[in-house]
Amino acid sequence: MKTSFFTILLVFMNLFTTCLFSQSRWMNIYYENENAIGNTIANSYDKGMLVVGKHGYNYVNYNWLIKTGINGEILWEKTIGSLSSNIKISDVSYNKNGELFLTGLTGYYSLNDYDPIVLKLNKCGEKEWCRVFIAEDNNFSNSIEITDDGGCVVLLRYMNPDATKDRICLAKLSSNGEQIWNHCYNSPDTSLDSEDAYNLLVCQDGGFLITGRCYYEDMNPPHYWWAKPYFIKTDSLGNFEWETVVHSDTIEPGGAAWSTILSPDSNFFYSFISHYYHNPTQNAPALVKMDMQGQVIGVYDLEEKDDLGKLFQAVFINDSILAGSASWGSEGYSSPQAVLFDTLGNILDSTFLVDNHYLSYVRKTFDNKLLFFTNKYDEELDEFDAYLFKLNTELESDSIYTQQFNYDSLCPYQIESDTIEQDNCGLIVGGEEIFVPKEDGLSGIEVYPNPASSKFIIRCSLFDIQTSTVAIFDLFGRKVKEMKVPKGEGEIIVNTEGWQRGLYLVRVNSGNGFTESTKVILE
C-alpha cells in the first residue's frame, strides 16, 4: 500500500512539473541537431503554422518547409531543392484554397548568379509549378502577396545589368503561373539613388505598397548622399501612383524601412524602420505613420538614440497598441526584444526571447496571440537553431492547447513529408516567358552533351511527327539561332563556336502550337 501511494505521488509530481514547465515556456526548436536557419513564418488557414528555413548559411542547397499544429508540433515537412539547387526561400503565403506560394532565389539556372523564383504548392503540399525570372548578375525576391483572383504578386530586385535601373520591380502571376504583368519603377527624382526594397503589402484598394530605402542627395554642399526610408505605391495593375522619401528635405535624420502594415481602420500606413542620426552616427528603432497618399504624419523613436537601433516587424493587437521585434544597443551588443508599444512609439512592455543577436519574424494568430520566430547561433558548434515562441498580449508565454484541431482539411488525403525538386520551371527572361514546362501529351526534348563545348545535339520526338522550328535564346532573351527541322529528321546538331559560355534556352515549336523547351550550358 505504501509503495502504491509513493508511486502515485511520484507520477503526480512528474505530471505537475511537466505541466508547469509547459505553461511557463511555449517554445519550439526546429532541427536542433542541424545547422538550421529560420527564414520566415506564416499562419495557415486551419489554425496551424507554416515555418520556412534553410540548412546552412552560404550556398544553400536545401530548404525546409514545416507545417505545425497550434502548439508548434510538426505535422509534416518538405525538403525543397537538391544538391544542384543553391536555393533559398524568403517568404511564403497562401490563398483561400489553401494553396501555398513561396518565393526566394535560386542558382539552378545560372553558373555563378542567383535569380528570383516563385513556387506554387497545391493544398496537399505538392508542387504545381515554378517560375524563375532570369537576369544577369544576382537578382532576388524576398516578398510575395496573394491576390483576390488566387494568383500572386512578387517583389523583384536588381532586374537589370545596369545597376542604376530596374532595381525594384513587381510581377503578377496567375494561379496557373501565367505572367499577367511586370513593372519596374525608376524614379524621375534625380536626387534619389541606390533604392532597395524589403517588403510588399497589399493595400485596401487592391494596390501595392513597396517598403525599402534609398540614398538621397543633400541639397547643400558638399552634397552627401544619405540613406532614407523609401516607399512606392502602385495600383492593382502595378502602375506607379506615388513615392515617398522620409526626411527628403533634411540631412538629419535618415534611415531604412523594413516592413509596413495597415492600421485596423485601413486609414494609415505604419512602417517599421531604423532611424539614422548622422551627426553623430546613432540609430533608434522607430515608427513611421503615413496617410494613404504617402504624406508623413509622424516619425516616432521607440528608444533613445544609440549606436544600433532597428524596428523590424510588428502587428496590431488593437486599435492603438502594437507588438513587434526591435533591437537597440551599442555596436556589437544589440539586444533584440519582443516589445509592446503604442502608435506614438511609447514602449509599454518588452521581454527578451533568447540570448541572441537576431531579430524575430512576428505574426498574430487567429486567437490574438503572438508568434516570434528567431535564430540563435552556437559559436561552439558553429551552427544555428531556429526558435519559435508563442506569447500572449502581455508578452507572457502562451498556454498549450489540449483540444483537437482538424488540420489540412482541404486536402482529401494525408499529406506526406517528402522532397520538392526544383525542376521543370518556367523561365521568364526580359519579361517574356520563353520556357514552357512539359505538359501531358507533349513529347520530350533531349540535349546532349550538357554541359557542351563547341556543339550539342537536340533530339525531340516532335521532329519525327511534323516539321518544327528550333529557336535558341541567351539569358537576355535574345534569339541567337533559329532553324527549321524537316519532318523525320530525328535530331539536329547545333554548332556553338564563338558563343559565350553560360546558360542557353532551347525551344522547339511544332506547326500546331505545341512547345517543348529545355536548357543547355556552354562551358
pLDDT of 44-81, one tens digit each? 999 999 999 998 877 677 899 999 999 999 999 999 98
**What confidence score (pLDDT) does residue 119 get?**
96
**What confidence score (pLDDT) does residue 84 get?**
66
**Nearest-angstrom CA–CA distance, 360 and 367:** 20
Confidence tier at 475 by pLDDT (50, 70, 90): confident
460 falls within a domain: yes
**What confidence score (pLDDT) does residue 6 get?**
40
Share of the chain above pLDDT 70, in %: 89
Average pLDDT over residues 33-49: 94
326: exposed, middle or buried (C-beta count within 10 Å: 0-12, 13-18, 19+)? buried
Reported as a single tens digit per residue, the pLDDT across 262-299 is 999 999 999 999 999 987 789 999 999 999 999 999 99
**Nearest-angstrom CA–CA distance, 497 and 143:** 41
Provide the CATH number for the domain around residue 488.
2.60.40.3080
Q: Higher-confidence residue: 428 or 20? A: 428
512: exposed, middle or buried (C-beta count within 10 Å: 0-12, 13-18, 19+)? exposed
Ramachandran angles phi, psi of 5, nearest 5°? -65, -45
Residue 297 carries which DSSP code? E
222 falls within a domain: no
Total H helices, total E strands in the chain: 2, 38
Locate 482 and state its grid cell: 533559329
Share of the chain above pLDDT 90, in %: 63
Reported as a single tens digit per residue, the pLDDT across 145-156 is 999 999 999 999
How many domains does the chain contain in total?
1
Q: Tally Cβ neighbours within 10 Å of residue 357.
A: 16
Question: Looking at the predicted structure, is the pLDDT value of residue 504 above 50?
Answer: yes
Locate 185 and state its grid cell: 519603377
**What confidence score (pLDDT) does residue 435 get?**
53
Query: Are the C-beta atoms of residues 325 and 372 closer than 8 Å to each other?
Result: yes
Pairing of strands 370-378, 140-146: unpaired
pTM of the model: 0.83
Question: Looking at the predicted structure, is the pLDDT value of residue 100 above 90?
Answer: yes
Q: Higher-confidence residue: 339 or 452? A: 339
Specify the DSSP element, H or E, that contains 24.
helix 2-24
**What confidence score (pLDDT) does residue 434 get?**
58
Taking Cα atoms as reference points, which of 259, 271, 266 lies closest to residue 200? 259
451 falls within a domain: yes
Cα atoms in the Cβ-side hemisphere of radius 13 Å centred on 228: 25
Domain that holds residue 516: 436-522
Q: Higher-confidence residue: 48 or 8? A: 48
Reported as a single tens digit per residue, the pLDDT across 392-405 is 999 999 999 999 99
Q: Tally Cβ neighbours within 10 Å of residue 349.
A: 15
372 falls within a domain: no
Query: Are the C-beta atoms of residues 125 and 67 closer than 8 Å to each other?
Result: yes
**What confidence score (pLDDT) does residue 339 get?**
98
Question: Looking at the predicted structure, is the pLDDT value of residue 442 above 50?
Answer: no
Confidence tier at 27 by pLDDT (50, 70, 90): very high
**What confidence score (pLDDT) does residue 59 get?**
66
**Nearest-angstrom CA–CA distance, 66 and 64:** 6
**Nearest-angstrom CA–CA distance, 485 and 5:** 89
Kindly report the average pLDDT of the chain as a whole number.
88
Classify 21 as helix, strand or coil: helix
Average pLDDT over residues 173-177: 94
Average pLDDT over residues 92-113: 86
Which residue in the block uniquely carries the three cell numbers 521543370? 424
Q: Tally Cβ neighbours within 10 Å of residue 219.
A: 11
**What confidence score (pLDDT) does residue 333 get?**
75
Taking Cα atoms as reference points, which of 479, 473, 477, 476 lies closest to residue 519? 473
Q: List the single range of 149-153, 409-413, 418-422, 471-475 with lowest mean pLDDT.
A: 471-475
